[in-house]
Chains A and B, each alone.
Chain A
Amino acid sequence: MNKTKSRNVIFAILKYAVVLTLTFSMLIPFVWMLSASFKTNLEVFAFPIQWIPEVFHFENYSNIWVIANYPRMFFNTVKLTAIITGLQVLTSTLAAYAFSKIKFPERDLLFLLYLATMMVPYQVVMIPQFSIIRNMGLSNTHMALILIQAFTPMGVFLIKQFYDGIPNELIEAARIDGLNEFGIYSRIMLPLSKSAIVSLAILTITATWNDFLAPLIYISDSKLFTIQLGLRNLCSEYTAEYGQIMAASVMSVIPIFVLYCIFQRFFEEGMISGAVKG
């Protein structure tokens, strides 16, 4: 009896030790980043690490705010994220409704097409996509990023999965009651799928906010830079300003972290529903 008890205690200690160590190691780089963002260049690499700086150098933030033209980058990124997410949610929910709730002959075939292209990695289509955008005269515009990111099959797939779970009887009943298809979509399907929509929106927001490769390919003019591009650029230009670079990094992650703290449940649901894919 005692033996199992002590073994349980050891197991519990071990368990907490592992969980806490891992949690800490996940957190430490962020804490280091935050702490360094308030330090002078010399203090950043001082050892032993002083986690709480003696003097908080808030000027790192105000300097980088001006140098990198942060407000403009921030505006660009917010604008792109909002438009892409809006379009993605709108067109995905519409298309998913057709795939899930309207019977038409080519339905399975078309959906298979959507599914098949989901296997194709972005890196395969990025070259022809670039040619197309270029021929439309849209390279080096935000429009390019909007067009290539707002109509991905992934969103349709996620929402369709959810719609499939809504009983058809409900739709039939509504049709008999004289509601037209758009009415069913807007008054029944949308309200019922709120959580799926929020999950999709959050997935899209995070992906767009953090996207690097597509802006890297399309955006040349530094007036049109997104935060991620700007941050990378900062590291190669204002190279030796360690504190300021850390301040810029902090500012680039904070909006998503705030969103995460508010919508944690939907973040996780989005990830898991993404996991059903395939």
Chain B
Amino acid sequence: MKKKLVCLLMAAALALGMTACGGNGGNGGSDGDGGNSEANAANDDQVTLRLALWDWEVDGPSTYEPIIEAFEDQNPDIKIEVVSSPNADYETKLTTMLSGGDDIDLFFAKSNTALPGVQSKDFCMNLTPLFEENKYDLTPYGTVIEQQMTFDGGVYALPFRTNDWVLFYNKNIFDDAQMDYPSNDMTWEQVGELAKEISSKTDDGIYGYCFNPKVGFIFPALAGTEDGFDITTSDLSCMTKALDWILDLQESGAMEEYAESVSMSKDQTYFLKGEWAMMWNGSWFVQNLSNEEDLGFEWGVAKSPYWEGTEKNGFVTSTPLCINADTKHQEEAYRFLTFICGEEGAKILATTKLVPGYMNDGVLESYKANLSLDESSVEALTDNVTYSFGEPNPVFSQIISAGQKEMELVLTGNETPEEFVANFEAQRAELIKNAE
């Protein structure tokens, strides 16, 4: 009787284990999970590299797929498996995966501003020894390597693409208002005047200027208010200039109220719908605009505006690709990294209207030729100089995030620019103090 009981319970436990494994098996295999690499290591023929990125559903086919396919064709011993998370949560999800023992081999950092946070947690492999060993030439990447990918003398990432922040404009709206297009040398103050003029000359529902109404897309404008700005150390009162400018535009009706655009979840698609005459956005937007089949209007690009009295710097971010410091496939990962971020990857990327991090004459020509834009627009998209948020440090992203929250309060009319400065400075001091 007792034996029977034991048997039955054993059976129950077994069944339990099996259902549990069934649960695992369902997402194992192609979807992948923790146990994957062991299975692959046993298979000598092919190595699977797990690559973390965001929004595969949106960007995969147009941006990544051609390069990955080309790589797999040339390297039949390597298979790339993509792990995609949604854009909005990518930074959190990436940290979770990297610290969670998920065997990611390579990963994109959300942007160069997110890289310091990832690097300080020792998630990225120091690539310098690999570059030296393979005599890899870093000059085609320009200054980005030094400015954004180097920490304590080591290079920890390669830029897959760079994003020049430029002013997109709707030519039809300007034509209808019988006004000249924005030029490649304009201050924000001039853009503001232009926006007001346009709004007064066009129908209701069309705004002269708009930001993509997400804090991350507006905040960089604030950092450009002073040359050599550093978000960790600079006096923040220079930022009121930008805030006042935004508030003035909102009040005049040349820009939609931030609160309204946010609550209607508006984003860059409103430019695509022809409701905004001008918009400051990253150069990736060229791809979105070109992919749109019946846009119904012509558009152009002008160099990023700058604040009066500062050097004519624009804002450039990059998308770094890193190798996980804990990867078990260092050699293969290195091969993939230098392919997708190297000349071959760049050549393919240039045809998709994105700016490759790797630049030489051939790639540049190919990029320009593929743009099929007017000359002034092509000029706007190339040879840009950049400013930044300043020297990265471990609380960098937390400071930026605190600043963005405070900025949102100003834009929604909950706080004045002066209160913004005071509150942001207080929070910054607190973050730095607590980090010690």
Contacts and interface: CB of A to CB of B under 8 A. Distances in A.
Interface of A: 67, 69, 76, 79-80, 83, 86-87, 90-91, 94, 130, 133-143, 146-147, 178, 180-182, 217-218, 220-224, 233, 235-237, 239-240
Contacts of B309: none
A137 B84 contact: no
A141 B24 contact: yes
Contacts of B88: 233, 236-237
A221 B101 contact: no
B97 A139 contact: yes
16 contacts: A67-B57, A90-B16, A91-B16, A138-B33, A138-B34, A140-B83, A140-B100, A141-B24, A141-B27, A182-B4, A220-B94, A222-B85, A236-B86, A237-B55, A240-B267, A240-B270
Residue among A67, A139, A218 with the highest chain B CB neighbour number at 10 A: A139
Query: Chain A interface mostly helix, strand, loop or mixed?
Result: helix
Interface string B228-270: 0000000000000000000000000000000000001111011
A223 B50 CA distance: 14
B64 to A, nearest CB: 15
B24 A142 contact: yes
Contacts of B16: 87, 90-91
A221 B4 contact: no
Contact of A220 (B23, B56, B87, B93): B93
B9 A146 contact: no
A140 B5 contact: no
Contacts of B94: 220
Contacts of B1: 178, 180
B248 to A, nearest CB: 26
The 9 closest A-B pairs by CB, nearest first: A139-B100, A137-B34, A239-B265, A220-B93, A236-B88, A141-B33, A233-B86, A134-B100, A180-B1
Contacts of B33: 138, 140-141, 143
Contact of A143 (B4, B23, B32, B55): B23
Nearest to B52: A220
A224 B27 contact: yes
A223 B31 contact: yes
A126 to B, nearest CB: 12
B20 A239 contact: no
Nearest to A139: B100
B394 interface: no
Given A79-B26, A137-B101, A221-B31, A240 B86 contact: no
Contacts of A147: 20
B20 A146 contact: yes
B283 to A, nearest CB: 21
Residue among A83, A222, A235 with the highest chain B CB neighbour number at 10 A: A222
Nearest to B267: A239
Give the interface residue-count category, chain B.
35 or more
B36 to A, nearest CB: 10
A237 B86 contact: yes
Interface in B98-118: 99-102
Contacts of B57: 67, 69, 222
Given A140-B97, A220-B97, 8 more contacts: A69-B57, A83-B22, A83-B23, A140-B102, A141-B27, A221-B32, A222-B56, A233-B88
Contacts of A218: 96
B5 A222 contact: no
A221 B86 CA distance: 8
Contacts of A86: 19
B35 interface: yes
B159 to A, nearest CB: 24
B34 A240 contact: no
Contacts of A69: 57
B122 to A, nearest CB: 16
A239 B24 contact: no
A218 B88 CA distance: 16
B58 to A, nearest CB: 8
B154 to A, nearest CB: 27
Contacts of A138: 33-34
A146 B19 CA distance: 10
Given A134-B101, A140-B100, A220-B85, A79 B4 contact: no
B12 interface: yes
Contact of A87 (B19, B93, B96, B266): B19
Nearest to A178: B1
B270 A221 contact: no
A235 B86 CA distance: 11
A143 B36 CA distance: 14
B8 interface: yes
Interface string B17-55: 001101110110001111100000000000000001001
Contacts of B97: 139-140, 220
A235 B325 CA distance: 34
